[in-house]
């Protein structure tokens, strides 16, 4: 193994033992760094816009469209928001114990997008939202409410796997044993903050 490592060092491979999804050593020039981090920064920016776009309008939607009273709608939004911020503990555990950061992040991002798509359907498709006549909406049916809240909590599950893993996954794109990449890693975290 030591001879194999020495051979890899001389051919431009990463120095920290990084491997691809099949367990093969990777060339430093063809992997990681800003190529991967630009995707992660973009994902985070768009995810934050989507999340805060939903969260900032949720109480209004619940009171005007689903006819929840203000106290109930605020409680429901707080419960959902709390779930979004507590599920990363489980997501970090799953990544560290079972699947690793890449697969946990990837699957969770897909779950998050699924939740957003379902939420879009919940507020767009007529049969999934209460009917409105002359600007006055009827009460939502139990199935409409269940679909709406299921969509929200699917988003929370997706966030649970992405939040704890995305910044550390970004940090993984830089080889700490290479001085230049160590500087790039610090720059990545400056952009992240």
- 28 has a pLDDT exceeding 80: no
Q: What is the DSSP letter of 175?
A: -
Q: Calculate what percentage of the chain has a pLDDT beyond 90.
A: 55
- 5 has a pLDDT exceeding 50: no
- 120 has a pLDDT exceeding 70: yes
Q: What is the pLDDT of residue 33?
A: 61
Q: What global pTM score does this model have?
A: 0.81
Q: How far apart are CA 183 and CA 176, in angstroms?
A: 9
Q: How far apart are CA 63 and CA 128, in angstroms?
A: 16
Mean pLDDT of 43-52: 95
> 22 vs 15, which has greater pLDDT?
22
Q: What is the pLDDT of residue 36?
A: 77
Mean pLDDT of 72-89: 98
Q: Lowest-confidence range among 15-29, 155-169, 179-193?
A: 15-29
Mean pLDDT of 147-171: 94
Nearest to 154 by CA among 107, 116, 184: 116
> For the chain, what's the residue count?
193
Residue written as token pair 């969260």:
55
Q: What is the pLDDT of residue 16?
A: 65
Most confident of 21-25, 26-30, 84-88: 84-88
Q: How far apart are CA 186 and CA 181, in angstroms?
A: 9
- 88 has a pLDDT exceeding 90: yes
* Distances, alpha carbon 109 to alpha carbons 88, 122, 155, in Å: 13, 20, 9
Q: How far apart are CA 130 and CA 123, in angstroms?
A: 9
Q: Which two tokens stand for residue 188?
A: 């990545």
* Exposure on the CB side of residue 23, measured as CA atoms within 13 A: 0
- Tell me if 34 sits within 8 A of 108, measured CB to CB: no
What is 22-69 written as a DSSP string? TS-B-BGGGSSHHHHHHHHHHHHHHHHHHHHHHHHHHHHHHHHTS---
């Amino acid at each position: 193994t030591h001879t194999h490592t020495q051979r890899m060092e001389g051919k431009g491979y990463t120095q920290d033992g990084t491997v691809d999804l099949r367990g093969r050593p990777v060339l430093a020039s063809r992997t990681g760094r800003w190529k991967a981090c630009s995707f992660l920064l973009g994902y985070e920016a768009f995810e934050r816009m989507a999340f805060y776009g939903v969260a900032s309008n949720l109480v209004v939607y619940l009171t005007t469209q689903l006819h929840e009273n203000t106290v109930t709608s605020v409680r429901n939004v707080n419960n959902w928001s709390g779930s979004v911020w507590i599920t990363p503990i489980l997501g970090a555990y799953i990544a560290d114990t079972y699947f690793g950061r890449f697969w946990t992040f990837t699957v969770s991002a897909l779950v998050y997008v699924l939740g957003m798509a379902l939420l879009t359907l919940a507020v767009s498709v007529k049969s999934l939202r209460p009917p409105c006549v002359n600007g006055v909406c009827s009460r939502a049916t139990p199935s409409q409410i269940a679909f709406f809240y299921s969509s929200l909590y699917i988003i929370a599950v997706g966030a649970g796997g992405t939040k704890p893993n995305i910044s550390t996954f970004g940090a993984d794109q830089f080889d700490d044993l290479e001085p230049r990449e160590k500087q790039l890693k610090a720059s990545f975290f400056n952009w992240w903050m």
